[in-house]
Every structure is written in C-alpha cells, then in structure tokens.
C-alpha cells in the first residue's frame, strides 16, 4: 500500500467518523487534526485504533505523537515506516 493510499484511507476515516456532521469541511493533508478541531483527545485514541486495525501496525504509547499522527501526511509516513520496519525485522 502506497503512502498516498494510506492518506486517502485515513482521510475517508476522518471524514466518516469525525466530520460527518460538518459536510463540506475541507482540510489539507498537512493540517493538524488537533489544532483544526477535527479530533480531540478521545479522537486520537480512536484514530490510533483505526491505524492499528486498518494498516496492521502496532503503535506503542511513546509513538502517539503529533509528529507521527498529527496530520494525514504524518500518518502516511508513520505507517510506511512501521510497515517497512516490520518487513525488515
């Protein structure tokens, strides 16, 4: 799965689960999900569960950071890196 495909699927999830009551809201792949009010702290936990289930990666507590999961772009990079690490192991 390419980084673009990961981002696309993550965007679909965010739209379906966090912005369903705000149709037409748009945001960039580089926009902070927290700063733009798209998700809150509970939403972060839901997003972590989605990423683990959807992309088959395990996320440790210390990996739950803005750098890894704060934007759709960072999610794409993070998942790619985790999947690569898993294959290399």
Q: pLDDT tens, position by position, for the chain (89 residues)?
A: 899 999 999 999 999 999 887 777 889 999 999 999 999 999 999 999 999 999 999 999 999 999 999 999 999 999 999 988 877 76
Q: Does residue 56 sit in helix, strand or coil?
A: coil
Rounded Cα distance, 51 and 60, in Å: 12
> How big is the CA angle at 41 (ends 62 and 36), to the nearest 5 degrees?
110
Model confidence pTM above 0.95: no
- What are the chain's domains? 3-88 (1.10.1200.10)
């Amino acid at each position: 799965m390419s980084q673009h495909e990961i981002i696309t699927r993550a965007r679909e999830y965010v739209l379906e689960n966090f912005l369903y009551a705000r149709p037409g809201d748009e945001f960039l792949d580089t926009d902070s999900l927290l700063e733009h009010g798209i998700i809150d702290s509970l939403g972060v936990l839901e997003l972590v569960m989605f990423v683990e289930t959807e992309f088959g990666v395990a996320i440790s507590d210390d990996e739950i950071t803005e750098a890894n999961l704060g934007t759709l772009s960072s999610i794409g990079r993070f998942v790619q890196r985790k999947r690569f690490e898993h294959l290399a192991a």
